[in-house]
Structures are given as structure tokens and as C-alpha cells.
């Protein structure tokens, strides 16, 4: 469990083992007949917890007031500024001048990570950059195409596959020729 810079436990920023958690929930339910209305500390009291200090208060920023929420929102906006500064520094280091559509690439990374697999995010954004450089194509257009592909893969997985044994919508085999743009190859 995270302990903030002021020494307060932050039970919502923690990792709990499932079995001890279930055991304590069952114990509390048996003792009180319900879990409704019980404080979280009643559950935590029966768990063996390891505290992790958050000396910088970056992970345990507590939002109890509107002022706290305003400060949290400012931190989120600052995150965007850090990305802009990083991209500027990387471009200078690599000796390139390029307008980077950060929002489009981050959206694509999210779609690839959630629709395909987490490691697909950096690999996909790399491929977008490579394709843009080789083809002189627009990054935003390429990102939209790749995001649409990631979303189709996610939809196929959610539907339990395309029901055609990996065949593309046009009847060609997914693992055979073609671009793979229409359907996920057979796994």
C-alpha cells in the first residue's frame, strides 16, 4: 500500500492478494451480516500490508477539495508539456525537423495497446513513422488507418473471431497473400 509523503496510508493506491482479500471480506460479512457501511480500515486491519513510501507525492496526490482537483488537472496538463519538450529534444538530437501530431500518435498507441497487445503500441507508432518517412505520407492519415485496423482486430476478438477460420472478408486467406488489412491472420 502506498504511504504518502505525510505518512498517511493510501489504500486506493495498492495491490492486494486475492485470497487474503476474499478471506477478510468473508470474515467481515459473517461478523456483520453485510459489508454495506463498513469502513475500509476494517477490511485492511486483517491484511498483512507492506507500505511503500511515496516521498515525491507523485503517485499519492490526494484530491479532497476543489483546489486539490485544480492542482491535479494542472499536473495532467503539465504532462502534455513534458511530452512536447521531450519530442523537441529528440528531434534536435536526431537532427530532424518534423511536425508531430502527438494526439494522433497517442490515440493510435492506445488503440494498438488495447485492441491488439500492449507491445503493439510502440511498434505500431514506429511503423507509422517509418511508413511516413518512406512514402512521404501524412502521419495522421496513416495513424487513422492503423487505428482502424487495431479496432477491427479488437472487434474480431470480442466477437470470438470472424467465424471464417482467419479468412478475410473478401474470401482470401488471412495468413496467405494480401496486406492483412481486412482481417487478423489465423493464430
138-156 pLDDT per residue, tens = 888 888 888 888 888 888 8
pLDDT on residue 80: 66
DSSP per-residue letters across 125-160:
HHHHHHHHHHH---HHHHHHHHHHHHHHHHHHHHTT
Interacting residues of 162 by C-beta distance below 8 A, sequence separation 6+: 156, 169, 183, 184
d(CA 67, CA 73): 10
More confident residue, 14 or 186: 14
Q: What are the cell numbers at 185? A: 491472420
Whether 57 has a pLDDT exceeding 70, the answer reads no
Cβ-based neighbour number of residue 109 at 10 Å: 22
Q: What is the pLDDT of residues 68-124, one digit of tens each?
A: 888 877 877 777 677 777 788 777 777 778 787 788 888 888 888 888 888 888 888
pLDDT of residue 59: 67
Percent of the chain past pLDDT 90, that is, above it, reads 17
Amino acid at each position: 500500500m502506498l504511504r504518502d509523503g505525510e505518512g498517511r496510508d493510501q489504500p486506493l493506491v495498492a495491490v492486494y492478494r486475492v485470497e487474503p482479500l476474499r478471506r477478510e471480506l468473508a470474515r467481515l460479512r459473517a461478523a456483520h451480516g453485510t459489508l454495506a457501511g463498513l469502513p475500509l480500515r476494517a477490511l485492511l486491519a486483517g491484511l498483512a500490508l507492506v507500505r511503500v513510501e511515496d516521498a515525491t507525492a507523485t503517485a499519492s496526490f490526494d484530491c479532497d477539495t476543489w483546489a486539490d482537483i485544480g492542482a491535479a488537472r494542472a499536473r495532467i496538463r503539465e504532462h502534455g508539456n513534458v511530452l512536447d519538450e521531450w519530442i523537441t529534444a529528440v528531434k534536435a538530437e536526431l537532427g530532424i525537423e518534423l511536425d508531430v501530431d502527438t494526439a494522433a500518435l497517442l490515440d493510435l498507441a492506445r488503440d494498438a495497446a488495447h485492441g491488439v497487445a500492449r507491445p503493439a503500441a510502440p511498434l505500431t507508432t514506429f511503423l507509422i513513422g517509418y511508413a511516413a518517412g518512406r512514402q512521404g505520407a501524412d502521419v495522421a492519415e496513416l495513424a487513422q488507418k492503423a487505428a482502424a485496423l487495431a479496432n477491427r482486430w479488437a472487434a474480431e476478438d470480442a466477437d470470438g473471431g470472424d467465424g471464417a477460420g482467419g479468412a478475410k472478408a473478401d474470401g482470401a486467406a488471412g495468413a496467405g497473400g494480401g496486406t492483412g488489412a481486412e482481417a487478423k491472420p489465423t493464430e
